[in-house]
Structure 1
Amino acid sequence: MSPHFDLRPLLERVEAAAPVDAVTAVTAELASLSGATEVSFLIADFSGHALVRLGTATRAPDGSRVQGAEHAETLRLEGTVHEQVLRTQQAAVQAGDDAGVHVIVPVTDRGDAIGLLELVLPEPPGEQELADISAAGHALAYVVVANRRHTDLFEWGQRTTPFSLAAEIQRRLLPSAFTCEAGQFTLAGWLEPAATVGGDTFDYALDRDSLQVSITDAVGHEVGAALLATLLVGSLRNERRRGMDLGTQTRNANDAVAAHSAAGGFVTGQVVRVDLHSRRAQIVNAGHPFPLRLREGRVEEVELLIDLPFGIQAGTGYRLQHFPLEPGDRVVFVTDGMQERNAASLDVAATLAATSALHPREVVHELGQAVLRATGGVLRDDASVVCLDWYGGPPRARESDAGASRRLASGGAGSGAPSPGATSAGAASGSR
């Protein structure tokens, strides 16, 4: 590979290709530049437990899903080098079973781990070549983000389990990226199970002045709950995008649910707005389970005043409550699926304390896995979780290397970020 990797030929090749061939265009260009004998893209599936290798080979590997010319080979994640690269966001170089050397790099955008890029090279890469391959992985993240708007290929590949209609509707309500790293915070969300039920949602939006986060739980199950959730999330987004303040957003969203839902329909939820300049936060609590906060090694509920769920009574105004945030805080918002009766053995607070060293992206996966273990894999309700790490300080650029902050990654080399739950002088002063 050239010592100065030029992305222009790669991007031109991507633009010339059809959206379904965008990844193939990247891998072909990368193979030409690097001399790799194999280059493949592995996308993270919606369960969070596997990777999916997408391809168009005439003979698909055994056990692959096939749809027309496309095939998707599912690979287990737990205990593999692939899991290590996703967690640490650092490249891995390994001698393969054949004569080649396997190089695996993250495909990540703003901390959102989309998947991995895997190459087989004739010999170990040098430092510059490995950096170039990592840059190509970062570029591939943008290629996937851009091209998935035009094709179902990536969505199909990620669905290792068929979706119900309710889950299909619900999926449209979730943010397109489940993780976001920024200078003042890192945020990640997750939903279990991904393929069935309906009703739970989470959302977030970041602008120049604020971060807004919501987590909601519509009453009922399946399509009815998904449609009810659509009413609330659509209204909250509409009000937010019109520039309304938090009180107006929630009041109007409540009225929309009350006016358009069937009798007895309601949605519990919390909506938080963090002012990035004053570093103060407000929260509306519409009959929802209290958040948990990890601070200075202790986990405790953040007790809030309880207002009516959305949709119970038209004209309801919601109290804007101060939400206490200090640099080093980790806050977890959950739905009641995390506390359902057949998950009685799950101690969410203990799990949160035990995962304090992990990136929020890994924390929400661990909590999802914990509720599945506690219920024997049989959830009677959705279980959603959003994890917010707050670093504080003024708005600023984030540290990033190939799409992720390695300093914040779980087990990443050079990790020196303030541990969640432990206030640090550096975080308080705004330096990171």
Structure 2
Amino acid sequence: MSPRFDLRSLLERVEAAAPIDAVSAVADQLALLSEATEVSFLIADFSGHALVRLSTAERTPEGTRTRGPESAETVPLEGTVYARVLRTQQPDVTATDRGTCVVVPVTDRGDAIGLLELVLPEPPDEQVQADIRAAGHALAYVIIANRRHTDLFEWGQRTTPFSLAAEIQRRLLPAAFTCEAGQFTLAGWLEPAATVGGDTFDYTLDRDALHVSITDAVGHEVGASLLATLLVGSLRNERRRGLPLAEQVHNADLALAENTAPGQFVTGQVMRVDLHTGHAQVVNAGHPLPLRLRDGRVEEVALDVDLPFGVEPAWPFRVQEFPLEPGDRIVFVTDGMLERNAAELDVATALAGSAALHPREVVHALGTAVMRATGGELSDDATVVCLDWYGGPPRARDSDSGAGRGLASH
């Protein structure tokens, strides 16, 4: 009989290893647990269309990137078992000529970090499958903890080189693009233009509120990224000071006015949802209106539009009521989703057909659609944030191995 999954032993192996060897430590423990002949980790790349198999194998497939002993093999997602496992968040067990292949998700709070793939000499029983899935969930936390200490995972995810502007922009985005909670699920995605256009999105969750923002800085490349850095940094600083929404945006607006030249501005929406009352408020600083899917119908959420941040010092931004009801799907976008060279994309129609999709797949699908509509030549960043609001009181989340029960796409 194979030994049972032992979290303590796994963590001891990971702590004893260098951060760059954290995945290998988990793989060794899994091989012992399941008698697997092969164990590999595939991390989701930054394009959203592929996985990257990280390893230190001496022999690598053609086209594999290497850096010293590290190798990163890009594996396209479309039409594969990997895509199905990521979409459904359910494991796959398949007999192959090498043995039984087991693929399980590596997910934390709905954020699909990647997949774990094992080849076993014999079909696994239910207990072994459960232990492998538990190990995949534990691996998500191992990756989250160890990527703070090494560039290995970031390097693996970059299937295309980053410009300096893209590097700066990346640092402004949240560490996880998806968050599931008892009252909501939120996901965001950014498709960068050929010359980075200064888009960002952000969110954070505390005991009393969910905070969400989406912003678009004027200009391109490093100038736009630095302008976005100033606004996002200010919004985060004011939020972390515990200030009300009105003061957060007021102070961020002043920061832009005091630290930039005339003509520099950022459009955006900043939202706060009270988790105890379900009451939502928003500031709309010259930004495209959000869309709402409710009872099968898609419509714009009517908001008054104030000036963008940085246009007029001390502008009196209005904190508006945001009409939010249980069952709503709200989508925030930047104008890159709506610009002229994306005219063939009807965002409202695409959203109307998204009801069966997890927000994680909604934002990916909209990002893919805008790239298809523009022939892959975006003239401006295209960013989307999808919020599914379930409502009700604050409560524990019902999950299985990092994925919310009943939330995954079919």
Q: Please tell me the residue identity of whatever aligns with 2:50.
A: A
Letter in 2 for 1:17: A
Q: Who is 2:371 aligned against?
A: 372
Per-residue Cα deviation, 1:273-309 (whole angstroms, up to 9, x for no partner) = 0000011000000000000000000000001001010
For the 8 Å contact 1:286–1:309, the answer to whether it is kept is: yes
Give the match for residue 183 of structure 1. 182
Q: Secondary structure at the match of 1:84?
A: helix
Corresponding residue of 1:417: none
Moved more, 4-13 or 157-166: 4-13
Match of 2:217 in 1: 218
After the TM superposition, which residues 121-136 of structure 1 pair with which residues of structure 2 at under 5 Å, given as runs? Answer: 121-136=120-135
Q: Which moved more, 1:299-308 or 1:256-265?
A: 256-265
The reply on whether 1:59 has 2:64 as its aligned counterpart is no
Tell me which stretches of 4 or more aligned residues in structure 1 moved more than 2 Å: 1-4, 193-196
Conserved in 2, the CA contact under 8 Å of 1:88 and 1:406? Answer: no
Displacement of 1:409 after TM fit? 0.1
Q: In structure 2, what is the equivalent of residue 13 of structure 1?
A: 13
Residue by residue, what CA displacement relative to the aligned partner does 1:219-252 show, whole Å, maximum 9, x if unpaired?
0001000000000000000000000000000000
User: Which residue of the partner structure matches residue 88 of structure 2?
Assistant: 88
| Residue in structure 2 matched with residue 360 of structure 1 by the alignment | 359
Q: Is the 8 A contact 2:342 2:374 kept in 1?
A: yes
Paired residue for 1:193? Answer: 192
Identify the residue that residue 319 of structure 2 maps to in structure 1.
320
Taking only aligned residues, the RMSD between alpha carbons, in angstroms, comes to 1.0
Q: Percent identity?
A: 77
Q: Secondary structure at the match of 1:145?
A: helix
Partners of 1:41 and 1:198 in 2: CA distance: 33
**Residues of 1 paired with 2:401 and 2:408: CA distance?**
13
TM-score (normalizing by structure 2): 0.99
Match in the other structure for 2:111: 112
Deviation at 1:97, TM superposition (A): 3.1
**CA deviation after TM superposition for structure 1 residue 59, in Å:** 2.1
Do the aligned partners of 1:167 and 1:194 also contact (CA within 8 Å) in 2? Answer: no
Q: 1:163, 1:196 within 8 Å by CA — same for their partners in 2?
A: no
TM-score under structure 1 length normalisation: 0.94
Q: Show CA shifts across 1:136-173 (max 9, x none).
A: 00000000000000000000000001111100000000
Aligned to 1:396: 395
- Structure 2 distance, partners of 1:123, 1:353, is 45
Following superposition, the deviation at residue 194 of structure 1 comes to: 7.8
**Matched residue type, 1:277:** H
Match of 2:346 in 1: 347
Q: Deviations over 1:328-357 (max 9, x none)?
A: 000000000000111111000000011111
CA contact (8 A) 1:216 1:269 kept: yes
Residue by residue over 1:189-221, the C-alpha shift from the partner in whole angstroms, topping out at 9 and shown as x without a partner, is 000028851400000000000000000000000
SS for the counterpart of 2:355 is coil
Amino acid paired to 1:331? I
Q: Give the number of equivalent residue pairs.
A: 410
Contact kept, 8 Å, 1:167 with 1:198, in 2: the verdict is no
- Tell me if structure 1 keeps the 8 A contact 2:193–2:379: no
Q: Which residue does 2:33 correspond to in 1?
A: 33
**1:251 counterpart letter in structure 2:** H
Q: Which moved more, 1:218-227 or 1:256-265?
A: 256-265
Query: What's the secondary structure of 1:172's corresponding residue?
Result: helix
- What does residue 71 of structure 1 align with? 71
Matches within 5 A, 1:192-271: 192-193=191-192, 197-271=196-270
The answer for unaligned runs of 5 or more in structure 2 is none
**Residue 163 of structure 2 aligns with which residue?**
164
Q: Secondary structure at the match of 2:310?
A: coil
Shift in CA distance, 196/44, structure 1 to aligned 2, threshold 3 Å? farther
**Letter paired with 1:351:** A
What letter matches 1:65 in structure 2? Answer: R
Partner amino acid for 1:92?
D
Find the counterpart in structure 2 of residue 308 from structure 1.
Answer: 307
Residue range with higher mean Cα deviation, 259-268 or 189-198: 189-198
In structure 1, stretches of 5+ residues that fail to align are 412-432
Query: Counterpart amino acid of 1:348?
Result: V
Return the letter of the residue paired with 1:22.
Answer: A
State the AA in 2 paired with 1:234.
Answer: G
- Cα deviation 1:1-32 (Å, max 9, x = unaligned): 64642111111000000000000000011101
